[in-house]
Amino acid sequence: MVMSVNKVRRLIVLAVVVAPLFLSGCVLEQILDDIVNEHPHAVIEASPREGCAPLDVQFNAQYSRDDSMIVEYHWSFGDPMSTQSALETAPTHRFTQPGTYLVKLTVIDDEGEADTQQIAIVVTDAPPIAQASVSNDSPFPGDAVVFTASGSYDLQGEIVAYNWEFGDGKTGTGATAQHTYIQGGYYVVTLTVTDESGEMAQTHLGMNVLPGQSQCGEDSTACGSDFQPLAIITSNYFSCTSNAQVGDDIALDGSASRPAVGAMVSYHWDFGDGSTGSGALVSHVYSTPWTYVIKLTVVDEGGGIGTATGSISIGGASCY
């Protein structure tokens, strides 16, 4: 039969007050040992006690003890998914957010006596994940390549900064960055991402910039040995059958020209009749029938110079 705590207390009082009148000390001590219920002792084990979110922790109360029997285990994990009770001695709990959580275990024995123990679980912010890709990992010198960090992510928040080191002393920022290598060789590109909590992560890319070749692809000789820009002129009038006449507005386009370094900074036109112009797109009116040689000179950000020529026949002049 299980006695209530109050009944036990009354028996203790009775034993202490009345029993000495009739019983010897040894007999009384034995009676008191049989009657008095000890408090249970709660013991928490946890593994791990610290780590990055989301953190799965295995708890265990198996070493909790009582002089009789523990009948209930109450767990409080200190977060919104807090309570587990009843006979669960070894629960597993996931902490999804960073913070310090006070985990409490209360054990209750078959006499209703209870004990509580608590421990701290420290959950830190997980670092972000850095992922980088590139549009072309084997470019020619002068080719503009695009680096992308859009695959990077953070489990608890947002990435607030993207920093690039291109391996040639140059740097960039942003989830997308463009860069042009001037020299051939092997370069290691480093992407560093930073999240809202200041946690950082890095990843690396290898760039094999092809040596001794220009960015002009199969037409590499047109760029010159020093990787000069490639000037290109397009026009509907570069044909003997174009029927261009005196007074016609001749449109000329140099926008297809390709820089060797960076971007184009200037376009200079010589129309072959003593007139000149500037800009990627120009037009010109000829006043005399003739076959004119048009020359385009381009300059890129690296100071490289490229030229191209084309002929146009005005007013039925012979082509050459």
**CATH value at residue 248:** 2.60.40.10
Residue-level pLDDT at 30: 54
* Residue range(s) defining the domain that contains residue 63: 45-124
Using one digit for the tens of pLDDT, what is the confidence trace for 182-216?
A: 888 899 999 999 998 899 999 999 999 886 444 44
Mean per-residue pLDDT over the chain, rounded: 83
The answer on 294 and 254 residing in a single domain is yes
Burial-class residue 186 by CB neighbours within 10 Å (0-12, 13-18, 19+): exposed
Task: Identify which has the larger pLDDT, 166 or 17.
Answer: 166
Residue-level pLDDT at 13: 47
Q: What is the mean pLDDT of residues 70-83?
A: 85
The answer on 310 and 226 residing in a single domain is yes
The answer on 269 and 223 residing in a single domain is yes
User: Taking 60 as the threshold, does the pLDDT of residue 26 lie above it?
Assistant: no
**Of 124, 143, 158, the domain-final residue:** 124
Instruction: Examine residue 128 and say whether the peptide bond preceding it is cis (omega within 30 degrees of 0).
Output: no
Residue-level pLDDT at 35: 55
Using one digit for the tens of pLDDT, what is the confidence trace for 226-260?
A: 467 888 898 888 766 567 899 999 999 999 898 87
CA distance linking residue 166 with residue 179, whole number of Å: 8
Residue-level pLDDT at 217: 44
**Of 124, 159, 190, the domain-final residue:** 124
Using one digit for the tens of pLDDT, what is the confidence trace for 85-94?
A: 656 899 999 9
The answer on 232 and 205 residing in a single domain is no
- Residue 320: inside a domain: no
Number of domains composing the chain: 4
Kind and range of the H or E run holding 13? helix 5-17
- Residue 40: inside a domain: no
CA distance linking residue 261 with residue 300, whole number of Å: 6
Residue-level pLDDT at 219: 40
- DSSP per residue over 110-161, as a string? TTS-EEEEEEEEEEEPPPPB---EES-SSPPTT-EEEEE-TT-B-SSS-EEE
Q: How confident is the model at residue 31 (pLDDT cuts 50, 70, 90)?
A: low
Residue-level pLDDT at 301: 85
In 3D space, the residue among 36, 28, 44, 47 whose CA is nearest the CA of residue 10 turns out to be 36
In 3D space, the residue among 231, 242, 233, 234 whose CA is nearest the CA of residue 319 turns out to be 242
The answer on 243 and 307 residing in a single domain is yes
